[in-house]
Amino acid sequence: EIVLTQSPATLSLSPGERATLSCRASQSVSNSLVWYLQKPGQAPRLLIYDASNRATGIPARFSGSGSGTDFTLTISSLEPEDFAVYYCQQRENWPLTFGGGTKVQIK
């Protein structure tokens, strides 16, 4: 099973600041890495697929990069609605696995 490790666990930032979230895989997942955002009481929302492709309707301030074992989600300028928990997920191998999440909170 591929283990995904997200860091940091919590990120405290102010609106307008840049957020950089990391996801590291225990073995290569090529570019088969997906990012989601989840707000309290809601289902997750697909943000980025295959490491760097924005899903339909996702604003350009969200970008993803990386390949192999190291991936980054960047939010160029945080909007109030971006404060949430972010998860990465690999879809290279079965079983599918998620990272433990990074909470982006208001400083």
Partner 1 sequence: QVQLVESGGGVVQPGRSLTLSCAASGLIFSTYGMHWVRQAPGKGLEWVAVVSADGGTKYYADSLKGRFTISRDDSKNTVYLQMNSLSAEDTAVYYCATGPGPGGDTMFHYWGQGTPVTVSS
Applying CB under 8 A, does 7 fall inside the site for partner 1?
no
Q: What share of the chain is helix, strand, coil (3-state, %, to 5)?
A: 5, 50, 50
Give the contact letters, 25-54, x = binds to partner 1 (CB under 8 A), - = no.
-------x-x-x-x----xx-x--x-----
Q: Give the whole-angstrom CA distance, residue 16 versus residue 24.
A: 26
Backbone conformation region of residue 91, classed left if phi is above 0, alpha if psi is from -120 to 50, else beta: alpha
Applying CB under 8 A, does 67 fall inside the site for partner 1?
no
106 forms beta bridges with 13
Contact with partner 1 (CB under 8 A) among 55, 65, 67, 68: 55
Question: Phi, psi (5° rounding) for residue 29?
Answer: -115, 20
CB of 59 to partner 1, least distance (A): 17
Applying CB under 8 A, does 64 fall inside the site for partner 1?
no
User: Which residues bind to partner 1, rule: CB under 8 A?
Assistant: 1, 32, 34, 36, 38, 43-44, 46, 49, 55-56, 87, 89, 91, 94-101
